[in-house]
Chains A and B, each alone.
Chain A
């Protein structure tokens, strides 16, 4: 387990906190699922009990491990003269300190955390505002899809999204919306004849 520790120790502390929270969540899920299996017959419950029991134990281990790491990180941060590293700051500092950049066994090179094209990077650095915006658009899309069906949602959402999130011209958005609508209708309704979300009113 030396490898992940090495890696974790130089992550921002939000990562360690998240590991604890997610770990606890998994503990709760497995615990609930284990109890849920109590009423079932032996055959039906055997596999669930094994799976959830194992899951519960491993998740608990993970929580303990992340807590330990968190505590160690705090201690290191509180202590201004860390004994282990002569080459500068250690602990919850983003970015790799030179001393930590020792080649890791089966792990990864240090650059993987700072590559700008990584999904991880985008998710970590996008601000709260961007997150709110993106999630709101996605929510709107699926609610609209549920309520109004595909053939309304596709052009309408394309139009609104490109106009307000993409900042395109009105004309561009209108053309895009019409093309999307027509192509979808032609492909799914006329050519393939495959059911698509109909919406609440078109049943």
Chain B
């Protein structure tokens, strides 16, 4: 599968198609080997590294990977090809990553809540354990935001807690929106149901705006437009930190009053959310390659150009080094059984 797109190269041929060179100057930087990372990259220099995106092109995972890839390419001095391999809600690509050569030429971006959660829950289709993989580094954290209809009766999280019957909307079991909203409902004993079957988060949002469901959970950054537009009311950040653009009145999970039992479950889930969207490699990856990739990624993620580009795209980066991710994974493996039992009902 090394036929995938070295897209820096394709970009050049695109430009050759006839745009003024100046137009795209910002993204036509050179990709000649310039190994400046401190790691030992001898084995990867000049190679083609494929990063598999387990979803269709155009989604968040795809965009993040394509955003970071050129900068990583520069650090390693290799060609990076981004390849989409959708299937089984992202599990297919991760299952096949397990069997790939562990020489560092095949990586993937993982969906922490979706894929990691299925693994912890022991769900069908997830043939891997979280600690199987080699962790390179996290591209972005993936906090969720609970929102309600701006025209509805629930305008704060306390309103939801006091509800007689609260209806969440979601795409279906195992999806992030389903897991997070069911988990919050279970932990805080919110009466109501999760309506499943929406074809995508767009349709779920539409139902929230129309008021036919009371609320939903969704990717924090993707909610920004609707929140600023005033059609959706943010009520709770399911993540460690609240972003600048969100009003301080919106609490994070950690700021809620909880019993010890509740806190234990929420902490475990926050750890899963903290796992976010990491680049991972096959189990037991070659040590030199691992250290090369980790160092290169750490350097790439600090590149001011990348930081600026990510800000322009409103795609927040949240780098976390590979060894810290491993610690996080270990915490998750040691999570209280109550958590994995709860998750098992949601996948």
Contact = CB atoms under 8 A, between A and B. Distances in A.
Q: Check whether chain A touches chain B (CB < 8 angstroms).
A: yes
A136 interface: no
Give chain A's interface secondary structure class: loop
Contacts of A203: 1-2
B101 to A, nearest CB: 9
Interface string A166-203: 00000000000000000000001111111110100011
Contact of B5 (A149, A192, A202): A192
Nearest to B100: A203
Nearest to A196: B3
Contacts of B83: 195
B3 A190 contact: no
Given A191-B10, A193-B9, A198 B81 contact: no
Contacts, number: 33
Nearest to B5: A193
B1 A193 contact: no
Nearest to B7: A193
The number of chain A residues touching the other chain, given as a range, is 10 to 19
A65 to B, nearest CB: 37
A192 B57 CA distance: 14
B338 to A, nearest CB: 25
Contacts of A194: 4-5
Nearest to A191: B13
A195 B83 CA distance: 7
A189 B3 contact: yes
B6 interface: yes
Given A190-B13, A193-B81, A198 B6 contact: no
A155 B342 CA distance: 56
Contacts of B81: 193
A198 B3 contact: yes
Interface string B77-92: 0000101000000000
A193 B2 contact: no
B345 to A, nearest CB: 14
Contact of A202 (B2, B9, B13, B14): B2
Contacts of B13: 190-191
Across the A-B interface, give the 7 residue pairs with the lowest CB-CB distance, nearest first.
Answer: A193-B5, A193-B10, A195-B4, A191-B13, A198-B3, A195-B3, A198-B1
13 contacts: A149-B3, A188-B3, A189-B3, A190-B13, A191-B10, A192-B5, A193-B7, A193-B9, A194-B5, A195-B5, A202-B3, A203-B1, A203-B2
Interface of B: 1-7, 9-10, 13-14, 81, 83
Given A193-B7, A195-B1, A203-B1, 6 more contacts: A191-B10, A193-B4, A193-B5, A193-B81, A202-B2, A203-B2
